[in-house]
Structure 1
Amino acid sequence: MTSVNDLLNILHLDREDDNTFIGASKTVGSPNVFGGQVLAQALNAAYRTINNGRVLHSMHSYFLEAGNLDLPIEYQVGVMRDGGSFSVRRVTASQKGNTIFILSASFHKNEKGHEHQIQMDADVKMPEDLMSWTDLLNTYGSLLPKKTKTFLEIPRPVEFKPTHINNPLEQKDLPPVSDVWFKLKGDVTSLDLAISQQILTYISDYNILSVALQPHASKAHWGNTQTASLDHSMWYFRDFDFTDWLLFSLESPSTSNARGFAKGNIFTRDGKLVASVAQEGLMRPMNS
């Protein structure tokens, strides 16, 4: 995938009946289905059963089994509630009858109320002053570890610009914080809020668990640590669009019991808080 159009093709599902949808997969470098893809496709299925104009405000999900890239994914939507203000959907994703993922999503009618938000770091570096993943590959490709180089070589519909580039050769423990700017490739002017939320959810599964590995970088890396997303939750606060860079500000409060926990906030360039994310993932040291 090289642009937002390729991503939209993956997120769009074939409809079998009112509540059943079928999706295909595309690799992002992992041998299994990318978690962000399943998250976004499940939201696509849920949204297509909402007929009252309500907007997604939260979702909570669990990854139960690794998805097979070669098999279609069936999404079954359960209509749990259509109340006076909120609609709730439950989505079950399966392959060959085996449940691989479950998600609950809540949709809210437009209402006015009190407002406040935390502030984006005023000292964060702007994307124009940073190198992207593509820049890193083009500049340092011959010096990068093979796995890192292979990962960066995979075409993606989104560009990332971390505010700090960690040297994988240093093997140095780092603080459990990270800031990454991201922007879609291609024409994004026609994206409505529902599709934008699905794409934002897809992107939210990038980078998030890596921040939980940083405090252990002197001994742990992707090559000697088994990692997998276990759950993923997200809250959507305000309307936004993808015409400019967005900032994913991440931190990891804890790792323990072979699990890492990370959370993050997504801001527009001018500091509007768009969404918050939380994820726990498996971080199991492997025998060398």
Structure 2
Amino acid sequence: MTNPAEKLVDLLDLEQIEVNIFRGRSPQESLQRVFGGQVAGQALVAAGRTTEGDRPVHSLHAYFLRPGRPGVPIVYQVERVRDGRSFTTRRVVAVQQGRTIFNLTASFHKPEPGFDHQLPMRRAVPGPEDLPTVVDEVREHLGGLPEALERMARRQPFDIRYVDRLRWTPDEVEGAEPRSAVWMRAVGPLGDDPLVHTCALTYASDMTLLDAVRIPIEPLWGPRGFDMASLDHAMWFHRPFRADEWFLYDQESPIATGGRGLAQGRIYDREGRLLVSVVQEGLLRPYGPRHMDGTNGDATPGVTT
């Protein structure tokens, strides 16, 4: 498989090794830690594989407890908490080398009729066709891509296009509001299984969300002055969607203090319908002496975004 979207589908196709136990691959990457979206997406696959197919997930709440190690399989243990008439609840613990690195609780709801309302999008934005890919924007600014970035770009399963021009210098960052928006879609078809699309979007939801926290602090591209780690992650799924069609990820950070930053995201389709709501808190610390587990000081949480 050469298409990164196909590789993502394969990454989300867990091996069932017992009734409620699944094993996921963790590719050998140059990254210091396993990408948090990968663990969240795989955990949601494990939960979904133990539910009835007519009950899509409507919410998840997760904590990143330890950094995962690339190249080492991750085992997902599912607890069947409740199977009700309308709702199903699952709890998933991710274990790597005998240590819990992540846990997730997901709730599934059998669709039913109800009333509708939503707040409009906070601003009008250009369409994705009118924006450069993030790879093209970086390549234009740098006059080319370093080899490491070129390899990373070829493996990227999502096309990402920033609505606002990237800031490259500290002077451009000064006074910037803690807001960001990107268009995203998988770089190839993901098939027709709704669970795959939900888990692929869960993967993508961790890719840019903490940008909103970083924007007032430093340029998003270039040398980083802060170590970043996702602490927790919550999502609410409002409407059906396809992750291989364009969606707008509108992000903002209402507060950052005490080494932690809170980010909120709203995911819309091209018609402006709200599909998914996301909230995440991240740890941001100035770089300092590093521990073997990839954290600073006495920190033990997290998977970097």
* TM-score for both structures, normalised by structure 2: 0.87
Q: How big is each residue's C-alpha offset from its partner over 1:66-102, in whole Å with a ceiling of 9 and x where there is no partner?
A: 0011211000000001112111000000111100000
The answer to whether the Cα contact below 8 Å between 1:29 and 1:151 also exists between their aligned partners in 2 is no
- Quote the Cα distance in structure 1 between the aligned partners of 2:207 and 2:75: 23
Aligned twin of 1:89:
90
- Matched position secondary structure for 2:215: helix
The answer to whether the Cα contact below 8 Å between 1:28 and 1:154 also exists between their aligned partners in 2 is no
Aligned partner letter, 2:33: N
The reply on whether 1:265 has 2:266 as its aligned counterpart is yes
Aligned twin of 1:215:
216
Aligned partner letter, 1:124: V
Matches within 5 A, 1:20-31: 20-26=21-27, 30-31=31-32
Aligned twin of 1:195:
196
- Quote the Cα distance in structure 2 between the aligned partners of 1:244 and 1:217: 31
1:118 shift after superposition: 1.7
- Matched position secondary structure for 2:11: helix
1:56 shift after superposition: 0.2
Aligned twin of 1:240:
241
Which runs of 5 or more residues in structure 1 are unaligned?
none
1:246 shift after superposition: 0.5
- Quote the Cα distance in structure 2 between the aligned partners of 1:154 and 1:161: 15
- Cα 1:165–1:26, aligned 2, differ >3 Å: closer, same or farther? farther
Matches within 5 A, 1:37-186: 37-51=38-52, 53-121=54-122, 123-142=124-143, 149=149, 153-171=153-171, 172-173=173-174, 174-186=176-188
Which runs of 5 or more residues in structure 2 are unaligned?
290-305
1:191 shift after superposition: 2.3
The answer to whether the Cα contact below 8 Å between 1:179 and 1:250 also exists between their aligned partners in 2 is yes
- Cα 1:154–1:170, aligned 2, differ >3 Å: closer, same or farther? farther
- Quote the Cα distance in structure 2 between the aligned partners of 1:213 and 1:272: 27
- Quote the Cα distance in structure 1 between the aligned partners of 2:29 and 2:239: 28
The answer to whether the Cα contact below 8 Å between 2:200 and 2:243 also exists between their aligned partners in 1 is no
Q: How big is each residue's C-alpha offset from its partner over 1:158-182, in whole Å with a ceiling of 9 and x where there is no partner?
A: 1000011222234422211111000
- Matched position secondary structure for 1:67: coil
- Quote the Cα distance in structure 2 between the aligned partners of 1:51 and 1:90: 15
Aligned partner letter, 1:180: V
- Cα 1:58–1:121, aligned 2, differ >3 Å: closer, same or farther? same
- Cα 1:285–1:204, aligned 2, differ >3 Å: closer, same or farther? same
Task: Tell me the matched-pair count.
Answer: 285
- Matched position secondary structure for 1:4: helix
**Over 4 Å off, 4+ runs:** 146-152
The answer to whether the Cα contact below 8 Å between 1:224 and 1:287 also exists between their aligned partners in 2 is no
* TM-score for both structures, normalised by structure 1: 0.91
- Matched position secondary structure for 1:135: helix
Identity of aligned residues (%): 38
Aligned partner letter, 1:26: P
- Quote the Cα distance in structure 2 between the aligned partners of 1:62 and 1:122: 31
- Quote the Cα distance in structure 1 between the aligned partners of 2:99 and 2:141: 42
- Quote the Cα distance in structure 1 between the aligned partners of 2:26 and 2:91: 21
The answer to whether the Cα contact below 8 Å between 1:2 and 1:156 also exists between their aligned partners in 2 is no
- Quote the Cα distance in structure 2 between the aligned partners of 1:28 and 1:114: 46
1:108 shift after superposition: 0.6
- Cα 1:257–1:27, aligned 2, differ >3 Å: closer, same or farther? farther
Aligned partner letter, 1:76: Q
The answer to whether the Cα contact below 8 Å between 1:29 and 1:154 also exists between their aligned partners in 2 is no
1:245 shift after superposition: 1.0
